[in-house]
Amino acid sequence: MSIEKDIVSRAIKGDGEAFAQLYEEHFDRIYRYVYLKVGNQTEAEDLTQEIFVKVLEAIGSYRWRNLPFKSWLFRIAHNRVIDYFRKQGKVEKMALEDDVTLVSDSNPASTAERELEIEELIKKVEKLTPAQREVISLRFGSELSTMEVAKTLGKSTGTVKVLQYNATVALRKMFSGGK
Amino acid sequence: MARRLESILDECLERMLGGESIEACLNAYPEQTSELEPLLRTSHVFIRKSMAIQPAPEFKARVYSRLQAMFYAKEEKAERRARIPIWRRGWALATTAILGFLLIGGGTIAASAHALPDEPLYPVKLTGEQVRLILTFSDVGEAKLHIQFAERRADEMLEMASQGKNGKISMLTEQITNHLDKAYMMVGIQIAGEGESRVLAPAPPSSSEAETYSEGKVAGELETLLRQSHAKSLATLRNALDKAPEELKPVLQQAIEGIGEDYDETISIVGNGSSQ
């Protein structure tokens, strides 16, 4: 049994320590994914919290059959983000906030620079199609494998590769054009 | 046959995420270097920048505390429950169900069987369904009930459309979706619908959207919604059918036929309304 499988199996049986390990392993990735999707720190925090509450509630019913744990986890996040956009009556579009607070840094100039970088990044992501944005957020933001992204989104790996390629080409144009 | 660039890019990204340098991958594909290099550098910049997005430590700690509290509450509940002998637990549930039955009245429950969403007995019908779910202990049993309830919602949707009451239809499509999602979660099977924006099931309209419809949103939009919901619900069921345990397959097959017919007829009624 792999280490991950062992931890997940223990978490399913209600082992708090195992759940804490999963939390530590995946929290930042889920947050990053949500942030890249909604482009807003406050919303990203609320949604990430809701996603983990849902994970805690549902983990007892998770089965290994067909779906890797990471894909199951990100599927919950994916569905929650879709619900968020639906309930807000929004098309999937970023709501950039002015005061983006990201990684804390002792150097205020460096923090401000990083915040600006992130803001620009989010603006570029916003220009991708929703499907491209989804794939890029999962693949680059959360470092999921192509297979995991495919399982999360219910798409074939071939489709994910094409979306990833097209998104990278589009980003390349944006980066080189300074847009 | 030369490998497609998207596959090469994907392989290189995988290697980069695993810690290899861009150059290492370019060396492996010298013929594609001119096309590949800018894409890999773009990806590298994107990954580096996105890594700067980190949750605030105090937020992370706060969520963890909340989850911990939930976890212990859940554990305590389970321990309390474990202290009650199984035979008493069964009786406790049965007693609750019987009390509920007596309070509401057996006749009322029976009468609610055909209640529609705009009728006073409809909440009784839904409560009865919840009681059945509570009293079902196996995942497959619960999945069967969710599928059955999805079919009921589809029947109600058709009946409401037949009576010209379109206001509740979008709410019913949402409930169909919810039941199918839950059935899916219960049996732990995966949906692999190509090109779907939502994985488990269709994205139904929110309750506020439902109200908008009831306030006279054009029937054409409702028809579109129904067509989308129809396609996705059936895709959900068909994908589930491929992967479901044998005992669940007849139930799913029946649901595919029943729900499909209900959607078809509802669309036809709503469509006629919109063309008039």
Is the model's pLDDT at A72 over the cut of 90?
Answer: yes
* Inter-chain CB proximity A66 and B243 less than 8 Å: yes
Total structural domains in chain B? Answer: 2
CB atoms within 10 A of CB B31: 9
pLDDT of residue B216: 45
Residue at B67 is within a domain: no
Which residue range(s) make up the domain with B230? Answer: 137-276
Phi then psi dihedrals of residue B137, to 5 deg: -105, -15
Q: Tell me the range of A83-97, B72-86, B168-182, B208-222 where mean pLDDT is highest.
A: B168-182
Whether the CB-CB separation of A130 and A137 falls below 8 Å is answered with no
Residues B211 and B234 in one domain: yes
**Mean pLDDT calculated for residue range B258-264:** 77
* Inter-chain CB proximity A23 and B64 less than 8 Å: yes
* Inter-chain CB proximity A67 and B188 less than 8 Å: yes
Residues B94 and B158 in one domain: no
In the listed set B101, B135, B169, which residue is the last one of a domain according to the structure?
Answer: B135
Q: Which residue has the higher pLDDT, B200 or A93?
A: A93
Residues B123 and B197 in one domain: no
* Residue closest to B127 by CA, chosen among B112, B140, B145: B112
Residues B151 and B213 in one domain: yes
Query: How far is the C-alpha of B104 from the C-alpha of B112, rounded, in Å?
Result: 11
Residues B153 and B267 in one domain: yes
Which residues does chain A have within 8 Å of residue B10's beta carbon, measured at their own beta carbons?
146, 161, 164-165
In the listed set B118, B135, B152, which residue is the last one of a domain according to the structure?
Answer: B135
Domain edges within chain A: 1-95
Residues B99 and B228 in one domain: no
Q: Which of B4-8, B48-52, B82-86, B191-195 has the lowest mean pLDDT?
A: B191-195
Query: How far is the C-alpha of A105 from the C-alpha of A112, rounded, in Å?
Result: 9
Residues B186 and B227 in one domain: yes
CA distance A51 to chain B (A): 11
CB atoms within 10 A of CB A80: 16
Whether the CB-CB separation of A100 and A118 falls below 8 Å is answered with yes
pLDDT of residue A44: 94
Which residues does chain B have within 8 Å of residue A153's beta carbon, measured at their own beta carbons?
196, 199
Is the model's pLDDT at B212 over the cut of 70?
Answer: no
Residue at B101 is within a domain: yes
Residue at B204 is within a domain: yes
CA distance A78 to chain B (A): 8
Radius of gyration for chain B, computed over Cα atoms and rounded to the nearest angstrom: 26
* Inter-chain CB proximity B53 and A79 less than 8 Å: no
Hey, of A31, A69, A160, which one would you mutate to test binding to chain B, going by the most B CBs within 10 A of its CB? Answer: A31
Residues B113 and B215 in one domain: no
ipTM (interface pTM): 0.82
Query: How far is the C-alpha of A87 from the C-alpha of A81, rounded, in Å?
Result: 10
Which residues does chain A have within 8 Å of residue B68's beta carbon, measured at their own beta carbons?
16
Is the model's pLDDT at B208 over the cut of 50?
Answer: no
Q: Any idea which fold A1-95 has?
A: Rna Polymerase Sigma Factor; Chain: A (1.10.1740)
Nearest to B199 among A117, A154, A161 (CB): A154
Residue at B10 is within a domain: no
Residues B91 and B206 in one domain: no
**Mean pLDDT calculated for residue range B12-36:** 92
Is the model's pLDDT at B243 over the cut of 80?
Answer: no
Residue at B216 is within a domain: yes
* Residue closest to B137 by CA, chosen among B93, B79, B98: B93
